C-alpha cells in the first residue's frame, strides 16, 4: 500500500511524519487503516498545492 522501505517508514514514524505502528506480536506490526488513509490524503493535498501554477510553496 505504501511504496516505502521499512527503514523509511520507521524514520518517518520517529519524526512524527507517519502514523505510529501497532505491535501485534514480537514479529508483526500493523497500522490503523484510517490513519494511513488520512496520511495519504494529506500527502496528495500537499502535492497538489505544490504543483499549482502561481502558488509559491512555503519553506520553514
Tens-place pLDDT, residues 15-24: 999 999 999 9
Q: How far apart are CA 60 and CA 6, in angstroms?
A: 27
Per residue, the 3-state secondary structure of 1-57, as one string, reads: CCCCCHHHHHHHHHHCCCCCCEECCCCCEECCHHHHHHHHHHHHHHHHHHCCCCCCC
CA nearest to 4, candidates 48, 34, 39: 39
Break the chain into its structural domains and give their ranges: 6-49
pLDDT band (50, 70, 90) for residue 1: confident
C-alpha cell at 53: 501554477
Average pLDDT of span 7-22 = 97
- 23-60 pLDDT per residue, tens: 999 999 999 999 999 999 999 998 877 766 666 666 66
Amino acid at each position: 500500500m505504501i511504496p516505502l522501505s521499512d527503514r523509511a517508514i520507521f524514520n518517518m514514524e520517529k519524526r512524527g511524519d507517519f502514523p505510529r505502528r501497532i505491535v501485534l506480536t514480537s514479529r508483526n506490526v500493523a497500522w490503523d487503516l484510517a490513519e494511513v488513509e488520512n496520511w495519504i490524503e494529506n500527502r496528495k493535498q500537499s502535492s497538489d498545492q505544490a504543483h499549482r501554477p502561481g502558488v509559491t510553496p512555503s519553506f520553514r
